[in-house]
């Protein structure tokens, strides 16, 4: 329960993830394992947008387009109620999410110390009452591994500067897992996705972050067409504002693993564990 | 002739017990941190819950009555309070007097319905005072304010929870103030400073409202300053989260505020649904400032 | 000539930090000082008025057009015409800020000039820099503003006049309206305002729109009862705040001192201004916070009648000593700020003195404030300083004067003493009876003795022990005189208290005297012992019936003096003795004050020729008592309102001479009025003619019945309290009340601590709302 951020490179599907998350509970009805209630106007708007984008293919603008200062960053605020399973109790997550423009994340490698605005952005996501972040990756080509790995070491440095290295949870997520090449790897993402495609990045992360504060997830907002038809349930098109994806078969929309990273971040654990250095 | 002593009222049993007789407070904080809104909401005490340990809040005198007018005519109409004027004469600063009656928290133990009363007088400084602390030196007006501030045993430092980027400035201002307090020749009275985070209806603050220290940690330097002070002197510091406007529902805690502006100075907003106006946590810091004890019931939603 | 027609118009604006924005500017906060000004310093009267919120628009309400406020401000020997133009700006926190630009010109009646010079409202502009000493120059070109009939009619409305929003109206016209109103200290109008913080401070208001009109009307209704503001109030308020915050400085005390000198600011005013800080509330609800202790201390300083109540309020708290310490530290603080308090602040000192007088007076009936009073006069606070410095001597002087006058039967001087020391008149009225025989005492006065004992003024202690207990404790007495058992103090005998040895001696003496004293029986002197034997012989013998036939009247005659009923309750009222004793030609010792004047009506009651009925005597002495009770108030009334103290029905020759007020004549006129007797009814005849008395008595009876007395009690006699009358003095009380009403004796007088009923929840005379 608390404040988290969603960061990740451009077009890693951050806003889409949030939109899918908020809309699916309505759309999926009883098949949804959770319900999401927006707690502010921005969240309500996002939910409304989700309908337009995911179903109707209007593209979401890049988040960076309207964000000039950190104050323009929107806090989406949700109450997520996860239905209890056979052995799981029902749980409630109050979630405040800040959706960072991808540029901010990518720029941490190049930003100079004098870039106040940039610094503010990063400070903001490491501020003490933010429990952790959802780190979204989408490109798995090995050529990207070097870049991500450098990015992460810089990010870890900043975390360290802010005193958050040992009390900040990182849910590292491979998004858009409906893609055929990586769909099978979703079961054990740490080994089969990160361990295979982003080895260096994985190593960097595991070296510095306490084990209990680090989680690996695979998720897919669009999902696949069916249990026995693992083709992506997604149509890519180029809409008015650039790339836009919509559901290929809206009727069988079944996103994968949207809620799990949040549940993991929400679990009371790593935050209280103090690591002796 | 009925003489005036012959009909003594049943004094000891029915009258509320006054706690902390000398409850002189000062409310300080940055411009726009919500000082007047805090006091106006406190005095107005809208939509009081029956379960609340607060039985009643009564304004005393004309100025406190004006607070209620402000709450009713401005805040409740969904309008904004204007900035409090910076008076040239410290004695012209509005001094709000309120009498807060609480149900005794141990009443169920004693089987009586004893009431506890807090009689506070609280001066509402213009926010300029706090920024002047930083940038002005030897200004006679500032000296007057400082002197007056030192008269109070309880300081309520109100900080807009979303103005954390000004942590540095706040810490510096507080440092100056603490120095001044140390210097003032008032007998080493036990002084209390409540660091009160305002505007906690904002969702990122609301989630942690029951962990005020965690919210206060958004201001690491300011908190550190206060901690150092409390360790090195006879003063104590405590942390609180409050919201003048509150949230709309208990299960769906949407802020009951409409944001007009957000900047590094914090958040400016107005009440969204006046009918559902229920402030949060306003009395708790005052209780602590008056008694030195934290009343856990007052921190509840 | 041309030069003379130019007048200076100064200006200044709200001081803000100006911050540039893409679209212009915004406020970065107040500076606490005025900017863009042409005058330095800004006249204090204007600053006071601003601090009083006399220009303030209410918050939260935005109007597009600039609003204007015009006001003539007086104070500190100056008059300024001020026009404020008010607009709304923004600050860097996104809040709306009211920004004021003031224009001012010295003198009354310059508002018009400012408006004409300004033309369109000159609104707040932070960049319109001005230099000090370089005011605007305007031509003094009077322009006639005509009020149409419509507006003229509005002038008859009660103030403030709300000009309906649908009527087009200019600021100049509002100003003209205020000029056409009956002259008044303050002249103020507001133009196109959405809401004012204090609309009751204005005379003419032109609301910005319909909504505003409604809101202003509503607020005015809500505040109808509030007292009207006086100029200089803000200074007083600041002083009061300073006192309650312990930050009082000499200039604050000066402000209060000067305000006390202003006769317009009566006790009601002080009540209400202190109530604005919560004085009555704190008193009623027993809020003993330090701030309230200080506030009520101040109230007790400013309103002397309140001092006993303040002490009683303290007495109600278990921790009253701590609270009094708070009060004392304030007093000491004030003494430190003003070491020569009594010399420099005569008005305040006077009030403090009067307060003590009230306390002393009150203490007789309210012994529970004894301990507080003792502290008040002993600890080194303001009151005690005053008491020690002058008041104790004054009281002693007054007492000895009273003693002298009583001894010499100088009634008139006694009265003028009361007039000269009105603060003591109540006490004098209460205690003068102890100077008259028979010797009596009243335990209620013990508390006064105890008070003075603590304070250490031996003579006062002694006299009040005498009054309270009938004797003075030996150690105390010995301080005054060691070898006597009685001395005369203030022309009153005081006795040393007898200790056990004295008592034993006394007893033997009594026994001895009883037997050895002589008795005068039937002109024969013989010892009592002998007389007893004779009597025994007479009664037991039973043979000398003839003697018995001759003697009973003698026996009875010698005993009347001892078994008269009034002597058994001699504590109470010597007048009742008088009523019955006048038969016995004891009028030489008659203590009832007899007005020494030439007026027939008042005078004749005394000269009883035929033997009047006892009912008449009782009634007459009751009337004398009423006169006695009311005399002080009547004299005060004449002093306070020398022009027209009483209604027309009272002949003015009763009080034409200030030094010789015929209270009795006044009272009797009222009684006649109340009893429904014709004005030419001569009260003096009542004692002489049976028929007149019957007429008078019937009138009394009717009056009693009118007042709701049971018919058995309506006896046609006015009796003294607790005396022989059937109604226990009820008729007298009724009459006294009616006379007060008839004479319009001001309420505060009749309600002074004489009846300080413990009425926390009742309304106090000085409490409003």
- Three-state SS letters, C5-61: HEEEEEEEECCEEEEEECCEEEEEEECCCCECCCCCCCCHHHHHHHHCCCCCECCCC
| Same domain? C204 vs C240 | no
Q: Is the pLDDT of residue A222 over 90?
A: no
Residue C396 CA to residue C17 CA, distance in Å, equals: 65
Confidence of residue A1 (pLDDT cuts 50, 70, 90): low
β-bridge pairing C78-90 and C96-106: antiparallel
Tell me how close the Cα of A77 comes to any Cα of chain B, in angstroms: 7
Residue C91 CA to residue C19 CA, distance in Å, equals: 9
Which of B13, B56, B82 would you mutate first to test chain C, the one with the most C CBs within 10 A?
A: B82
Contact between C216 and C198 (Cβ < 8 Å)? no
B213: Cβ contacts below 8 Å, ≥ 6 apart? B223, B239
Residue B186, pLDDT score:
61
pLDDT tens digit string along B45-85? 998 888 888 989 999 988 898 899 889 888 898 888 888 88
Contact between B240 and B195 (Cβ < 8 Å)? yes
- The answer to whether C51 contacts B90, with C-beta atoms less than 8 Å apart, is no
Q: Which of C329, C356, C374 is the last residue of a domain?
A: C374
More confident residue, C293 or B136: C293
Residue C308, pLDDT score:
92
Radius of gyration of chain C (CA): 36
Chains C and B touching, counted as 3 or more CB pairs less than 8 Å apart: yes
Q: What is the mean pLDDT of chain A?
A: 81
Q: Is the pLDDT of residue C556 over 60?
A: no
- The answer to whether C755 contacts B1, with C-beta atoms less than 8 Å apart, is yes
How crowded is residue C168: how many other Cβ atoms within 10 Å of its Cβ? 8
Tokens, residue B207? 């989630």
Q: Select from C29, C275, C366 the Cβ nearest to the Cβ of B5.
A: C366
Q: What residues of chain A, 32 to 91, have a C-beta less than 8 Å from chain B? A: 37, 39-40, 69, 71, 75, 77, 79
Q: Select from C246, C287, C758 the Cβ nearest to the Cβ of B6.
A: C758
Residue C67 CA to residue C85 CA, distance in Å, equals: 6
pLDDT tens digit string along C32-66? 889 999 998 999 889 888 887 888 888 766 667 88
Strand ranges, E, within C157-215: 161-162, 187-193, 204-207
Tell me how close the Cα of B155 comes to any Cα of chain C, in angstroms: 16
β-bridge pairing A234-239 and B192-198: unpaired
- Closest C-alpha to B158, from B120, B123, B183, B118: B123
Q: What residues of chain C, 74 to 133, have a C-beta less than 8 Å from chain B? A: 91-98
Tokens, residue C467? 């009054």
| Same domain? C180 vs C268 | no
Chains A and B touching, counted as 3 or more CB pairs less than 8 Å apart: yes
Tokens, residue C148? 């149409």
C752: Cβ contacts below 8 Å, ≥ 6 apart? C305, C358, C426
Task: Out of C220-234, C320-334, C682-696, give the one with best mean pLDDT.
Answer: C320-334
More confident residue, C342 or B2: C342
Residue B18, pLDDT score:
62
Q: Is the pLDDT of residue C568 over 60?
A: no
- The answer to whether B203 contacts A2, with C-beta atoms less than 8 Å apart, is no
Q: Select from B89, B121, B126 the Cβ nearest to the Cβ of C238.
A: B89
Tell me how close the Cα of B248 comes to any Cα of chain C, in angstroms: 23
C345: Cβ contacts below 8 Å, ≥ 6 apart? C253, C254, C257, C338
Question: What region does B77 belong to: left with phi over 0, alpha with psi -120 to 50, or beta?
Answer: alpha
| Same domain? C253 vs C197 | no
Whether omega before A167 lies within 30 degrees of 0, making that bond cis, reads no
β-bridge pairing B154-160 and B115-124: unpaired
pTM of the model: 0.73
Residue C582, pLDDT score:
42
pLDDT tens digit string along C603-630? 444 444 456 677 788 888 888 888 888 8
Tell me how close the Cα of A185 comes to any Cα of chain B, in angstroms: 35
Q: Is the pLDDT of residue C394 over 90?
A: no
Residue C313 CA to residue C764 CA, distance in Å, equals: 14
| Beta-bridge mates of residue C685 | none
Choose the weakest-confidence range: A111-120, B147-156, B163-172, C678-687.
A111-120
Tell me how close the Cα of A257 comes to any Cα of chain B, in angstroms: 24
- The answer to whether B121 contacts C366, with C-beta atoms less than 8 Å apart, is no
What are the Cα distances from residue A100, in Å, to A158, B118, C543? 16, 46, 137
Residue C620, pLDDT score:
83
Q: Domain of C68?
A: 3-213
Residue C5 CA to residue C113 CA, distance in Å, equals: 11
pLDDT tens digit string along B250-273? 888 899 999 888 888 999 999 999
Helix, strand or coil, per DSSP, at residue C79: strand
Whether omega before C438 lies within 30 degrees of 0, making that bond cis, reads yes
Helix, strand or coil, per DSSP, at residue C102: strand
CATH number at B98 reads: 3.40.50.300
Residue with token string 């006058």: C405
Confidence of residue C11 (pLDDT cuts 50, 70, 90): very high
Contact between B237 and B154 (Cβ < 8 Å)? no
Report the pLDDT averaged over residues A231-250. 71
Name the helix (H) or strand (E) containing B22. strand B17-29
Residue C533 CA to residue C528 CA, distance in Å, equals: 9
What are the Cα distances from residue C277, in Å, to C237, C240, C299, C353? 9, 9, 11, 25
- The answer to whether A37 contacts B165, with C-beta atoms less than 8 Å apart, is no
Q: Select from C93, C247, C252 the Cβ nearest to the Cβ of B265.
A: C93
C535 occurs within a structural domain: no
| Beta-bridge mates of residue C90 | C96
Count up the domains in chain B and report the number.
1
- The answer to whether C287 contacts B82, with C-beta atoms less than 8 Å apart, is no
Chains A and C touching, counted as 3 or more CB pairs less than 8 Å apart: no
Contact between A141 and B230 (Cβ < 8 Å)? no
| Same domain? C261 vs C322 | yes
Tokens, residue C99? 């920004």
Q: What is residue C57's DSSP assignment?
A: B
C189 occurs within a structural domain: yes
Q: Nearest-CA residue of chain A relative to B252? A: A39
pLDDT tens digit string along C193-216? 888 888 888 888 998 888 888 888
C49 occurs within a structural domain: yes
More confident residue, C487 or C337: C337
Q: Select from A69, A96, A129 the Cβ nearest to the Cβ of B217.
A: A129
Q: Is the pLDDT of residue C596 over 50?
A: no
pLDDT tens digit string along C346-376? 999 999 999 999 998 888 888 888 888 888 8
Residue C572, pLDDT score:
43
What are the Cα distances from residue A252, in Å, to A23, A31, A55, A247? 15, 11, 12, 9
Residue C452: burial class (beta carbons within 10 Å; 0-12, 13-18, 19+) = buried
Residue B291 CA to residue B192 CA, distance in Å, equals: 10
- The answer to whether C238 contacts B22, with C-beta atoms less than 8 Å apart, is no
- The answer to whether C238 contacts B2, with C-beta atoms less than 8 Å apart, is no
Confidence of residue C598 (pLDDT cuts 50, 70, 90): very low
pLDDT tens digit string along A36-58? 888 888 888 888 888 777 777 66
Strand ranges, E, within chain A: 2-7, 34-38, 75-82, 91-99, 130-137, 169-174, 214-218, 224-226, 229-232, 234-239, 242-247
Count up the domains in chain C and report the number.
3
Residue C611, pLDDT score:
63
Q: Select from C242, C281, C290 the Cβ nearest to the Cβ of B60.
A: C281
Strand ranges, E, within C561-688: none
Tokens, residue C387? 């008491």
Q: Is the pLDDT of residue C384 over 60?
A: yes
How crowded is residue C410: how many other Cβ atoms within 10 Å of its Cβ? 15
pLDDT tens digit string along C21-30? 888 898 888 8
Choose the weakest-confidence range: B108-112, C167-171, C274-278, C628-632.
B108-112
- The answer to whether A96 contacts B207, with C-beta atoms less than 8 Å apart, is yes
Q: Nearest-CA residue of chain C relative to B262? A: C93
Residue C765: burial class (beta carbons within 10 Å; 0-12, 13-18, 19+) = middle
Question: What region does C523 belong to: left with phi over 0, alpha with psi -120 to 50, or beta?
Answer: left
Residue C328, pLDDT score:
92
The count of CB pairs under 8 A between chains B and C is 159
Q: Which domains does chain A have, with CATH numbers?
A: 3-276 (3.40.50.300)
B74: contact with C, CB 8 A cutoff: yes
For residue B126, which residues of chain C lie inside 8 Å, CB to CB? Answer: 30, 32
pLDDT tens digit string along C446-498? 888 888 888 878 888 888 888 888 888 888 888 777 777 778 888 787 888 77
Contact between A233 and A24 (Cβ < 8 Å)? no
- The answer to whether A71 contacts B254, with C-beta atoms less than 8 Å apart, is no
Residue B194, pLDDT score:
95
Radius of gyration of chain B (CA): 19
pLDDT tens digit string along B4-53? 543 333 343 445 666 555 578 999 999 999 999 999 999 999 988 888 88
| Same domain? C309 vs C173 | no
Q: Nearest-CA residue of chain A relative to B219? A: A128
Residue C61 CA to residue B73 CA, distance in Å, equals: 10
Q: What is residue B73's DSSP assignment?
A: I
Contact between B57 and B100 (Cβ < 8 Å)? yes
Residue C222, pLDDT score:
74
| Same domain? C32 vs C152 | yes
| Same domain? C78 vs C200 | yes
Q: Select from C93, C757, C759 the Cβ nearest to the Cβ of B31.
A: C93
For residue B251, which residues of chain A lie inside 8 Å, CB to CB? Answer: 79
- Closest C-alpha to C729, from C576, C595, C582: C576
Q: Is the pLDDT of residue A70 over 50?
A: yes
Residue A18 CA to residue B216 CA, distance in Å, equals: 28
Residue C766, pLDDT score:
37
Residue B274, pLDDT score:
92
Q: Is the pLDDT of residue C746 over 60?
A: no
> How much of chain B exceeds pLDDT 70, in percent?
87
C536 occurs within a structural domain: no
Confidence of residue C516 (pLDDT cuts 50, 70, 90): low
Q: Is the pLDDT of residue A191 over 60?
A: yes
- Closest C-alpha to C304, from C243, C269, C350: C350
Q: Domain of B241?
A: 2-299
β-bridge pairing A169-174 and A130-137: parallel
| Beta-bridge mates of residue B270 | B258
Q: Nearest-CA residue of chain B relative to A123? A: B165
Residue A28, pLDDT score:
72
End-to-end CA distance of chain A: 27
C345 occurs within a structural domain: yes
| Same domain? C74 vs C186 | yes
Residue B223, pLDDT score:
95
Residue C441 CA from chain centroid, whole number? 29
| Same domain? C73 vs C201 | yes
Residue C529, pLDDT score:
66
| Same domain? C71 vs C143 | yes
| Same domain? C15 vs C153 | yes
A251: contact with B, CB 8 A cutoff: no
Name the helix (H) or strand (E) containing C75. strand C67-75
B253: contact with A, CB 8 A cutoff: yes
Which of B203, B249, B266 would you mutate first to test chain A, the one with the most A CBs within 10 A?
A: B203
Q: Is the pLDDT of residue C724 over 60?
A: no
Q: Which of C213, C245, C280 is the last residue of a domain?
A: C213
- The answer to whether B92 contacts C238, with C-beta atoms less than 8 Å apart, is yes
Q: Select from B60, B88, B263 the Cβ nearest to the Cβ of C32.
A: B88
| Same domain? C198 vs C120 | yes
Q: What is residue A186's DSSP assignment?
A: G
Confidence of residue C101 (pLDDT cuts 50, 70, 90): very high
Q: Is the pLDDT of residue C553 over 80?
A: no
Q: Select from A1, A96, A120 the Cβ nearest to the Cβ of B165.
A: A120
- The answer to whether C30 contacts B148, with C-beta atoms less than 8 Å apart, is no
Q: Is the pLDDT of residue C223 over 60?
A: yes
Residue C501, pLDDT score:
60
Sign, Cα dihedral of C564, C565, C571, C572? negative
B10: contact with C, CB 8 A cutoff: no
The count of CB pairs under 8 A between chains A and B is 50
Q: Select from B3, B18, B91 the Cβ nearest to the Cβ of C366.
A: B3
């Amino acid at each position: 329960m608390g404040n988290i951020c969603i960061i990740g490179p451009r077009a890693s599907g951050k806003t889409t993830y949030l939109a899918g998350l908020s809309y699916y509970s309505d759309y999926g009805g009883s098949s949804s394992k959770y319900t999401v209630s927006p707690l502010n106007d921005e969240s309500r708007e996002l939910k409304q947008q989700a309908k337009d984008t995911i179903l109707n293919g209007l593209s979401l603008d890049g988040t960076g387009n309207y964000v000039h200062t950190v104050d323009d960053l929107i806090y989406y605020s949700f109450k997520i109620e996860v239905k209890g399973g056979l052995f799981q109790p029902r749980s409630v997550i109050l979630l405040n999410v800040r959706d960072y423009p991808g540029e901010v994340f990518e720029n941490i490698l190049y930003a100079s110390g004098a870039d106040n605005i940039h610094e503010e952005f990063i400070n903001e996501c490491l501020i003490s009452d933010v429990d952790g972040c959802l780190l979204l990756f989408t490109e798995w080509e090995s050529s990207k591994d070097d870049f991500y790995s450098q990015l992460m070491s810089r990010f870890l440095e900043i975390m360290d500067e802010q005193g958050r290295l040992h009390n900040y949870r990182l849910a590292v997520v491979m998004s858009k897992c409906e893609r055929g090449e990586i769909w099978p790897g979703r079961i054990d993402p740490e080994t089969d996705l990160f361990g295979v495609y982003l080895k260096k990045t994985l190593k960097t992360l595991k070296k510095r972050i306490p084990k209990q504060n680090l989680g690996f997830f695979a998720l897919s907002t669009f999902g696949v067409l069916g249990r026995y038809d693992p083709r992506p349930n997604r149509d890519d098109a180029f809409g008015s504002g650039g790339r836009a994806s919509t559901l290929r078969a809206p009727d069988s929309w079944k996103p994968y693993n949207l809620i799990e990273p949040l549940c993991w971040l929400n679990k009371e654990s790593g935050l209280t564990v103090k690591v002796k250095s | 002739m009925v003489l005036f002593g012959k009909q003594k009222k049943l004094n000891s049993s029915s009258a509320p017990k006054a706690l902390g007789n000398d409850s002189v407070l000062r409310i300080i904080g940055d411009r726009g941190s919500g000082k007047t809104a805090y006091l106006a909401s406190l005095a107005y005490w809208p939509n009081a819950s029956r379960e609340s340990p607060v039985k009643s809040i009564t304004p005393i005198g004309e100025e406190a009555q004006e607070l209620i007018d402000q709450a009713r005519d401005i805040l409740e109409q969904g309008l904004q309070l204007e900035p409090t004027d910076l008076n040239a004469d410290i004695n012209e600063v509005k001094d709000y007097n309120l009498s807060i009656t609480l149900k005794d928290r141990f009443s169920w133990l004693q089987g009586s319905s004893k009431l506890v009363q807090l009689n506070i007088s609280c001066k509402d400084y213009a926010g300029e005072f706090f920024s002047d602390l930083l940038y002005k030196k030897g200004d006679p007006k500032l000296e007057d304010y400082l002197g007056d501030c030192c008269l109070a045993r309880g300081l309520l430092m109100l900080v807009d929870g979303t103005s954390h980027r000004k942590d540095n400035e706040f810490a510096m201002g507080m440092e100056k103030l603490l120095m001044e307090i140390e210097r003032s020749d008032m007998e080493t009275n036990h002084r209390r400073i409540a660091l009160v985070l305002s505007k906690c209806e904002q969702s990122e603050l609301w989630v942690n409202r029951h962990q005020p220290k965690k919210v206060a940690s958004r201001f690491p330097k300011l908190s550190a300053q206060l901690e150092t002070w409390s360790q090195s002197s006879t003063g104590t510091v405590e942390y609180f989260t409050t919201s003048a406007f509150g949230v709309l529902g208990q299960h769906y805690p949407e802020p009951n505020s409409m944001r007009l502006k957000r900047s590094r100075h914090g958040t400016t907003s107005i009440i969204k649904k006046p009918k559902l106006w229920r402030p949060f946590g306003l009395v708790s810091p005052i209780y602590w400032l008056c008694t030195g004890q934290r009343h856990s019931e007052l921190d509840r939603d | 000539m041309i030069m003379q027609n130019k007048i200076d118009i100064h200006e200044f604006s709200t001081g803000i930090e100006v911050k540039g924005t893409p679209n212009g500017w915004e406020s970065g906060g107040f500076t606490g000082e005025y900017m863009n000004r042409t005058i330095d310093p800004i006249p204090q009267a204007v600053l006071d008025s601003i601090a009083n919120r006399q220009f303030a628009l209410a918050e939260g309400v935005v109007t597009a057009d600039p609003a204007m406020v015009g006001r003539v401000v007086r104070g500190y020997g100056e008059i300024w015409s001020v026009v404020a133009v008010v607009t709304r700006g923004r600050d860097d926190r996104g809040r709306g800020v009211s920004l004021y630009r003031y224009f001012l010109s010295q003198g009354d009646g310059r508002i018009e000039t400012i408006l004409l010079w300004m033309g369109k409202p000159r609104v707040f502009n932070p960049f319109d820099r001005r230099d000090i000493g370089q005011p605007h120059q305007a031509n003094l070109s009077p322009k006639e503003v005509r009020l149409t009939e419509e507006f003229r009619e509005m002038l008859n409305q009660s103030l403030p006049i709300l000009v309906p929003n649908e009527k087009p109206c200019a600021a100049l016209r509002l100003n003209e309206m205020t000029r056409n109103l009956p002259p008044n200290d303050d002249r103020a109008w507001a133009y196109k305002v959405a809401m004012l913080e204090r609309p009751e401070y204005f005379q003419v208001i032109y609301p910005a729109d319909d909504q505003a009109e409604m809101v202003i009307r509503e607020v005015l209704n809500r505040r109808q009862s509030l007292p009207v503001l006086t100029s200089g109030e803000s200074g007083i308020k600041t002083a009061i705040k300073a006192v309650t915050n312990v930050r009082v400085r000499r200039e604050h005390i000066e402000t209060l001192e000067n305000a006390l000198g202003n006769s317009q600011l009566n006790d009601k005013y002080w009540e209400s201004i202190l109530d604005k800080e919560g004085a009555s509330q704190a008193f009623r609800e027993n809020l003993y916070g330090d701030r309230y202790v200080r506030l009520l201390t101040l109230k007790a300083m400013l309103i002397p009648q309140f001092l006993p109540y303040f002490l009683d309020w303290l007495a109600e708290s278990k921790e009253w000593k701590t609270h009094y310490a708070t009060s004392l530290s304030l007093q000491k603080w004030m003494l430190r700020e003003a070491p020569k308090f009594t010399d420099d602040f005569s008005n305040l000192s006077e009030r403090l003195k009067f307060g003590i007088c009230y306390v002393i007076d009150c203490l007789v009936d309210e012994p529970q404030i004894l301990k507080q009073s003792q502290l008040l006069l002993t600890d080194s606070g303001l009151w005690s300083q005053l008491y020690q410095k002058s008041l104790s001597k004054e009281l002693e002087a007054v007492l000895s004067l009273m003693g002298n006058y009583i001894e010499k039967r100088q009634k008139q001087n006694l009265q003028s003493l009361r007039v000269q020391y009105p603060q003591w008149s109540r006490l004098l009225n209460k205690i003068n009876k102890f100077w008259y025989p028979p010797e009596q005492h009243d335990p209620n006065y013990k508390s006064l003795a105890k008070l003075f004992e603590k304070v250490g003024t031996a003579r006062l202690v002694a006299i009040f022990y005498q009054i309270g207990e009938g004797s003075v404790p030996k150690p105390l007495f010995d301080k005054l005189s060691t070898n006597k058992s009685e001395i005369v103090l203030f022309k009153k005998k005081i006795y040393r208290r007898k200790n056990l040895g004295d008592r034993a001696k006394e007893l033997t003496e009594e026994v001895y005297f009883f037997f050895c004293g002589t008795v005068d029986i039937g002109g024969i002197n013989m010892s009592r012992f002998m007389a007893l034997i004779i009597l025994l012989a007479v009664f037991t013998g039973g043979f000398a019936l003839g003697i018995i036939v001759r003697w009973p009247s003698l026996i009875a005659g010698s005993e009347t003096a001892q078994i008269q009923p009034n002597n058994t309750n001699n504590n109470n009222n010597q007048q009742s003795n008088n009523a019955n004793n006048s038969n016995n030609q004891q009028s030489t010792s008659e203590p009832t004050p007899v007005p020494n004047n030439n007026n027939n009506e008042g005078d004749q009651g005394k000269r009883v020729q035929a033997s009047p009925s006892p009912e008449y005597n009782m009634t007459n002495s009751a009337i004398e008592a009423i006169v006695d009770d009311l005399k002080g108030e009547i004299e005060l009334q004449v002093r306070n309102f020398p022009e027209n103290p009483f209604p027309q029905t009272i002949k003015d020759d009763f009080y034409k001479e200030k030094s010789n007020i015929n209270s009795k004549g006044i009272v009797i006129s009222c009684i006649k009025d109340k009893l429904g007797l014709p004005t030419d009814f001569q009260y003096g005849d009542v004692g002489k003619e049976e028929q007149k008395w019957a007429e008078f008595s019937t009138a009394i009876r009717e009056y009693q019945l009118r007042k709701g007395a049971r018919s058995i009690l309506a006896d046609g006699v006015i009796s003294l309290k607790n005396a022989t009358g059937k109604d226990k003095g009820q008729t007298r009380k009724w009459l006294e009340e009616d006379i007060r009403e008839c004479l319009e004796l001001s309420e505060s007088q009749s309600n002074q601590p004489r009846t300080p009923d413990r009425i926390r929840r009742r309304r106090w005379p000085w409490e409003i709302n």
